[in-house]
């Protein structure tokens, strides 16, 4: 009997997938690349719902899976991240100063003779008026407890620019000439 030489098969290299680690509450742990409102700041590892991470944060580039490679890459760019954050804060402070220097804005709205508006003035209209004065403000930044429904002067409308930077502006609502008259 002749001995047959057994051929050994080469071992397959199994490629590890970048799987999302589970957190203590059952959510997915992700590494934030940008500040995300109500989630966390740039460079933090946070736990969010799996679908939120998989369908929104990761595809839009707000977060990545916290692997060793990504952590090293983040450490490398942390200096640049802090410089970007500091420049962003400086820009927001200058916008806040411009808002304070502007002091007041006037918005025309349709109103009846008693001064009640037919609609309301909300963050969209205030943002539009601020942009008319070359101030880059988003509607989410205007803080109103409820929409403004009457003509008059509202002396302390808050604008929250982020990073705990706030400014106040006076909003004056006047009736427009196209109001209904009987």
**153 Cα distance to chain centroid:** 29
Residues 6+ apart with CB under 8 A from 35: 41, 42, 162
Count the alpha carbons within 13 Å of 109 in the hemisphere toward its beta carbon. Answer: 26
Own/partner contacts of 49-55, CB < 8 Å, gap of 24 or more, are: 50/20, 53/20, 53/27, 53/28, 54/20, 54/28
Lowest mean pLDDT among 12-26, 47-61, 88-102, 156-170: 12-26
> Pseudo-torsion of CA 51, 57, 63, 65, nearest 10°?
20
Fold category of 28-91 in CATH: Ribosomal Protein L9; domain 1 (3.40.5)
CA distances from 6 to 3, 9, 11, 12, 13 (A): 9, 9, 15, 18, 21
Residue ranges of domains in the chain: 28-91, 98-175
Burial of 43 (0-12, 13-18, 19+ CB in 10 A): middle
Q: What pLDDT is stored for residue 90 in this prediction?
A: 94
Q: What is the pLDDT of residues 74-107, one digit of tens each?
A: 777 777 778 888 998 999 999 999 999 998 999 9
Over the chain, what is the mean pLDDT?
85
CATH classification for the domain delimited by 98-175, as one of 3.90.420.10, 3.20.20.190, 3.40.50.2300, 3.10.430.100: 3.10.430.100
The whole-angstrom separation of Cα 147 and Cα 49 is 32
Q: What is the pLDDT of residues 61-70, one digit of tens each?
A: 999 988 888 8
β-partners of residue 172 are: 106, 153
Using DSSP bridges, classify how beta strands 142-143 and 116-121 pair: parallel, antiparallel or unpaired. Answer: unpaired
Residue keyed to tokens 């109001």: 179
**Four-residue CA torsion sign, 47, 48, 54, 56:** negative
Q: What pLDDT is stored for residue 179 in this prediction?
A: 43
Phi, psi (rounded to 5 degrees) for 111: -145, 160
């Amino acid at each position: 009997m002749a001995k047959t030489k057994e051929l050994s098969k080469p071992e397959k290299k199994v490629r590890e997938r970048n799987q999302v680690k589970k957190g203590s509450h059952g959510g997915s742990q992700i590494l934030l690349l940008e500040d995300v409102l109500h989630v966390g700041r740039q460079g933090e590892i946070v736990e969010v719902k799996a679908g939120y991470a998989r369908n929104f944060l990761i595809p839009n580039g707000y977060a990545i899976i916290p692997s060793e490679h990504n952590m090293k890459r983040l450490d490398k760019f942390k200096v640049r991240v802090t410089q970007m954050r500091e420049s962003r804060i400086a820009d927001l402070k200058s916008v806040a100063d411009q808002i304070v220097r502007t002091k007041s804005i006037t918005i025309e709205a349709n109103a009846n003779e008693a001064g009640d508006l037919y609609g309301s003035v909300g963050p969209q209209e205030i943002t539009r008026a601020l942009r008319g004065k070359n101030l880059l403000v988003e509607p989410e930044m205007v803080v109103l407890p409820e929409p403004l429904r009457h003509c008059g002067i509202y002396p302390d409308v808050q604008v929250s620019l982020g990073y705990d930077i706030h400014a106040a502006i006076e909003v004056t609502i006047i009736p427009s000439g196209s109001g209904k008259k009987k």
